[in-house]
Structure 1
Amino acid sequence: MLTRKQHELICFINDRLGETGVSPSFEEMKEALELKSKSGVHRLISALEERGFLRRLPNRARALEVIRMPERTEPKRPAAPRAPARAIPEPANDVVEVPLHGRIAAGVPIEAIEGTSTLSVPAALLGSGEHYALEVSGDSMVEAGILDGDYALIRRQEVARDGEIVVALVDEAEATLKYFRREGAMIRLDPANRAYDPQRYAPAQVRVQGKLTGLLRRYD
C-alpha cells in the first residue's frame, strides 16, 4: 500500500507524462503536493523507486519513468467507463548536462580555457560519443551561421575530414573554431567570413580536439 502523498505524487507524474511527455520538475511536484521543501519530494520519489513504481533515467535531468500504477481506490469524480490504457510515452526533451569549457575564438585563436561549469543541452541535439560545449567569441564563422555568444556543441575526436568544422588546438596553447582542410603538406584552418584570412600551420602544430555537432543560441 502507498501512503496518500506517494499515491498523489505517482498520479501527478503519470498525468503530466501523459499530457506533455515531460516529467514535472521538483518545484512543480512540491507545489502540487503542498509540501514545504523539495527534500520531501526526494523522499517520496525514493520510496516509489524502492517499491517498483518509478524509475529515474540515468544522465538526464527531470527524467522519470512510471513503471506501474497503483489502483486508484478513491476517485475524485463519479465512476465512469475508463478509456483503454495507453502506453506511457518516453520522456521528451530530455536534458543532458555537458561540460562547458569557457570561450573559443571564431576569429583569431585565443588561449584555450578549461572550466568546470556545465551546460544543459537537449539530448536530441547530441548523438553518440562524448560531448562538451564552448561559448563562441568573435564573428569569423558568421557565414556558417555561428554567431558571437552561441554555444558550440562539440563531440570529442582527434581526427577530421576536409570541410568539417572543428576545434583545433594550435601549438598546444590556443584553440579556435574553423573549417579543417589539408593543403599540401600544411593544415589550413578556414574562417567563414570573407573579412578574415585562412590560417596555415604545419601538421605538428595543430591538434584536433573535436567536431562541431550543434549550436545553442540565447535570445535576450
Structure 2
Amino acid sequence: MSQASTHYLHRRPNLPLAHSWVSIEGVDLVEIPLLGDVSAGMPIEACPTNGSIRAPSRMVRRNTYALRVRGDSMIDCNIFDGDVIIIERQESAENGETAVVLINHQEVTLKTLYIEKTGVRLQPANTSMPPIYLKNSDIQVLGMVMGVVRQRELTH
C-alpha cells in the first residue's frame, strides 16, 4: 500500500537559491494553475497544459503559476526531477537569479541566469552539466522560483 507525502519548500528572499529553502506546513492551501513542464536539463518545447495544483497561500502572489520539473540540472539548488515549482510571473531577472526562461520563443528551461559581456549564460546547478550561452535577444524571462511542491510515494 502506498500513499503520497507532500512537502512544501518556500523560498526565503535575498539568499542564494541553494540555501534559501525553508520547509513550511501545507495549511491554507489555494489552487493555482499548473501550466506544463519546464526542463531542468536540455531545453524542451513549451507545451502548455491545463491543470492545477494546491500550494500554501504564502507562496502565492498575484501572478503565480506552477510548472513540473523534468530533469536533473538544478539538483544542487534542491530542485529535483518530478518536483513542481511555484513561479511568480516576472519579465526580468537579476544577475545570478534562478528563472524560468523561454529560448527563441519555443523552448523553456529552468536555470540560473548570468549576464555577461557577450550575452547571457544559463547555468545549471549540477556540476556534470554544461552552461548554455545565448544572446540577450534569444531569451525571455518568464518568472522566478518562489517555492517547491514535492510529492513522494511512501510505501508501507
Give the TM-score category using the shorter length.
0.7 to 0.9
Correspondence for 1:185 among 115, 118, 127 = 118
Match of 1:218, SS state, is strand
- Could you say which structure has the higher helix fraction? 1
**Which amino acid in structure 1 is aligned with residue 29 of structure 2?**
V
TM-score using structure 2 length = 0.79
Check if 1:202 corresponds to 2:147. no
Question: In 2, are the aligned partners of 1:101 and 1:134 still within 8 Å (CA)?
Answer: yes
Q: Aligned partners of 1:199, 1:129: CA distance in 2, in Å?
A: 31
Match of 2:151, SS state, is coil
1:217 corresponds in structure 2 to 150
Q: Aligned partners of 2:151, 2:27: CA distance in 1, in Å?
A: 17
Correspondence for 1:162 among 68, 79, 95 = 95
**Larger RCO, structures 1/2 (Cα 8 Å, 6+ apart):** 2
Give the superposition deviation at 1:109. 0.2
Give the superposition deviation at 1:176. 0.1
TM-score using structure 1 length = 0.57
Give the superposition deviation at 1:206. 0.2
Give the superposition deviation at 1:95. 1.6
Question: In 2, are the aligned partners of 1:96 and 1:123 still within 8 Å (CA)?
Answer: yes
Once superposed, which parts of structure 1, at least 4 consecutive aligned residues long, lie more than 3 Å away? none
Unaligned runs of 5+ in 2: 1-25
1:151 corresponds in structure 2 to 84
Q: Aligned partners of 2:72, 2:42: CA distance in 1, in Å?
A: 10
- Could you say which structure has the higher strand fraction? 2
Unaligned runs of 5+ in 1: 1-91
Q: Aligned partners of 2:55, 2:128: CA distance in 1, in Å?
A: 32
**Which amino acid in structure 2 is aligned with residue 150 of structure 1?**
D
Correspondence for 1:101 among 12, 24, 35 = 35
**Which amino acid in structure 1 is aligned with residue 109 of structure 2?**
T
User: Identity rate of aligned residues, in percent?
Assistant: 38
Q: Aligned partners of 2:109, 2:140: CA distance in 1, in Å?
A: 11
Give the superposition deviation at 1:129. 2.8
**Which amino acid in structure 2 is aligned with residue 125 of structure 1?**
M
1:7 corresponds in structure 2 to none
2:9 corresponds in structure 1 to none
Aligned length: 128
Q: Which structure has the bigger radius of gyration?
A: 1
2:21 corresponds in structure 1 to none
1:172 corresponds in structure 2 to 105
Q: Deviations over 1:128-163 (max 9, x none)?
A: 331000000000100110000000100000000011
Give the superposition deviation at 1:94. 1.6
Q: How do 1:61-140 and structure 2 match up within 5 A?
A: 93-126=27-60, 128-140=61-73
**Which amino acid in structure 1 is aligned with residue 142 of structure 2?**
Q
Q: Deviations over 1:166-196 (max 9, x none)?
A: 0000000000000011011301100000111
Q: Aligned partners of 1:110, 1:141: CA distance in 2, in Å?
A: 15
Q: Aligned partners of 2:84, 2:141: CA distance in 1, in Å?
A: 18
